């Protein structure tokens, strides 16, 4: 069975600080996909990144970077030089090829608050 754990319920940082959001996953499949979504106060989930299990290269997109480590089943997300607009709930999600359901298994989310 799939499981995604985001142990950090809430994080608060001051603007310009770096912040890392943790994500640990469980799956029995060797082929799977990991995702990060951002949910600002407006409510709409915004897709940030998709990573497949065979690509362990870290990715950087502007101030965002992702660290995928299969050895520890983690897919952590770092925001560099955080800004107030980064305040949102961030979800990590997992999709594998097992079972009949075609779904994402979401973590419980991390509420990030960036203070000015």
Partner 1 sequence: SQTIHQWPATLVQPVGSPLSLECTVEGTSNPNLYWYRQAAGRGLQLLFYSVGIGQISSEVPQNLSASRPQDRQFILSSKKLLLSDSGFYLCAWSLDRVSEQYFGPGTRLTVT
Q: What is the DSSP letter of 30?
A: S
CB closer to partner 1 out of 52 and 72: 52
Closest approach of Cβ 100 to partner 1, in Å? 7
Q: Are strands 24-26 and 10-14 parallel, antiparallel or unpaired?
A: unpaired
Site for partner 1 in 6-25 (CB under 8 A): none
Of 50, 55, 63, 115, which lies in the binding site for partner 1, with binding defined by CB under 8 A? Answer: 50
CA–CA distance, 47 with 66 (Å, rounded to integer): 14
Q: Which residues pair with 10 in a beta bridge?
A: 111
| Segment near partner 1 (CB under 8 A); pick from 14-22, 55-63, 71-79, 87-95 | 87-95
Of 8, 95, 112, 114, which lies in the binding site for partner 1, with binding defined by CB under 8 A? Answer: 95
CA–CA distance, 80 with 88 (Å, rounded to integer): 15
Closest approach of Cβ 112 to partner 1, in Å? 12
91 binds partner 1 (CB under 8 A): yes
Contact 111, 89 (CB under 8 A): yes
């Amino acid at each position: 069975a799939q499981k995604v754990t985001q142990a950090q319920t809430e994080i608060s940082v001051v603007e310009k600080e770096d912040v890392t959001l943790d994500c640990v996953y469980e799956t029995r499949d060797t082929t799977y996909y990991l995702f990060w979504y951002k949910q600002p106060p407006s409510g709409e989930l915004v897709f940030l990144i998709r990573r497949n299990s065979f690509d362990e290269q870290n990715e950087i997109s502007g101030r965002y970077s992702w660290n995928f480590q299969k050895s520890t089943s983690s897919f952590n997300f770092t925001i560099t030089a955080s800004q107030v607009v980064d305040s949102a709930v961030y979800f990590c999600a997992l999709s594998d090829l097992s079972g009949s359901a075609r779904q994402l298994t979401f973590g419980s989310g991390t509420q990030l608050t960036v203070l000015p």
